[in-house]
Amino acid sequence: MTYQFSGKVWKSGENAGWVFVSLPKDIAKEIRKTLQWQEEGWGRMKATAITKHKEWETAIWFDKKQDTYLLPLKAEIRKKAQIELGDIIEVEVKL
């Protein structure tokens, strides 16, 4: 299944936190309803992500506090795609 959305790039924690884009809640609800059985430990689900013509193998993680999945954006991807905190980016996630 493939999902396309736009989201704001944000950072968890102060200094050494992870950088994410949150999936829209309606998409997360659909994923949980149809694909939750694919989740591994801690709500992790393998995925392929694409943004700004950069594709990488990753995973999305379900966050109970936000009630949605989070897509981590590695520093390498952010650098190659010139992504900064606060940017609104278009993302495609394949599960």
Domain 2-94 bears CATH identifier 2.40.30.100: yes
Per-residue model confidence as pLDDT tens digits over 13-45: 766 789 999 999 999 999 999 988 888 888 899
Cα–Cα distance between 36 and 47 in angstroms, integer?
13
Q: Report yes or no: 19 and 72 within 8 Å, Cβ to Cβ.
A: yes
Consecutive H or E run containing 6: strand 2-11
pLDDT, position 60: 97
Q: Quick one: pLDDT band at residue 6, thresholds 50, 70, 90?
A: very high
Per-residue model confidence as pLDDT tens digits over 33-82: 998 888 888 889 999 999 999 999 999 999 999 999 999 999 999 999 99
> C-alpha angle with apex 47: 85 to 60, nearest 5 degrees?
50
Instruction: Indicate yes or no: pTM above 0.85.
Output: yes
Ranges of each domain in the chain = 2-94
